[in-house]
């Protein structure tokens, strides 16, 4: 009887792990899992992302055109810091978490858990390009301020979550089936 009880306990303890894995039907897990595969020189905290942003420059419309994939999401919330980094693109199941497909300053945003969103990016007088993205939160859409970094990534700070919260995007080639 104790062998059967041990098997049941192991199965019960394994259920939460199995619930997060994508099924064979291609389902995407409801919640993202922090990833830890950063690029060698990637900002690893909100403060480092903000410093990279501060040293960046305004991305011109021609530079923006292409597919930008989220490679990092970081925040330095007091008591609740967050870090998820993947140099190959943050994934959930077999899909990229966040993809911005830009044609100049016009973009289409594909993010797991939201519908496809159109975004207009606007250069401001501070060297940033800004856009809105609605994650469906009660407080409304986030306004992101982005700059092209020295590493040729986009460092984007979220205005609703100061002081140091944001995402980093890298231009890359992706397969259509990887886009949500």
User: What whole-number distance in Å separates Cα of residue 180 and Cα of residue 168?
Assistant: 18
Higher-scoring residue by pLDDT: 77, 75: 75
Count other Cβ atoms within 10 Å, centred on residue 27: 11
List residues bridging with 132 in a β-sheet.
143
Task: Check residue 162 and give its pLDDT.
Answer: 63
Residue 173, CB half-sphere, CA atoms under 13 Å: how many? 0
Higher-scoring residue by pLDDT: 166, 136: 166
Handedness of CA 125, 128, 129, 135 (dihedral sign): negative
Q: Mean pLDDT lowest for which of 10-14, 28-32, 52-56?
A: 10-14
Task: Check residue 16 and give its pLDDT.
Answer: 36
Helix, strand, coil share of the chain (percent; to 5): 20, 35, 45
Phi/psi of residue 125, nearest 5 degrees: -80, 5
Q: What are the extents of the domains in the chain?
A: 34-178
List residues bridging with 110 in a β-sheet.
99
Helix (H) / strand (E) element for 53: namely helix 46-55
What percent of the chain shows pLDDT beyond 90? Answer: 68
| pLDDT average, residue stretch 31-47 | 93
Phi/psi of residue 98, nearest 5 degrees: -150, 120
């Amino acid at each position: 009887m104790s062998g059967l009880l041990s098997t049941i306990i192991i199965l019960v303890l394994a259920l939460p792990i199995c619930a997060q894995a994508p099924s064979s039907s291609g389902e995407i897990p409801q919640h993202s899992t922090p990833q830890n595969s950063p690029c060698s020189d990637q900002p690893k905290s909100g403060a480092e992302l903000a410093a990279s942003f501060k040293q960046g420059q305004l991305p011109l419309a021609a530079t923006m055109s292409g597919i930008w994939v989220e490679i990092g999401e970081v925040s330095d919330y007091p008591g609740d810091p967050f870090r998820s980094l993947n140099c190959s693109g943050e994934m959930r199941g077999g899909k990229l978490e966040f993809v911005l497909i830009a044609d100049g300053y016009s973009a289409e945003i594909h993010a797991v858990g939201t519908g496809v969103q159109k975004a207009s990016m606007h250069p401001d007088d501070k060297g940033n390009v800004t856009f809105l993205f609605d994650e469906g939160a009660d407080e409304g859409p986030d306004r992101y301020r982005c700059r092209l970094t020295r590493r040729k990534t986009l460092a984007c700070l979220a205005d609703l979550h100061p002081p140091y919260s944001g995402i980093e995007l890298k231009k890359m080639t992706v397969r259509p089936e990887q886009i949500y």
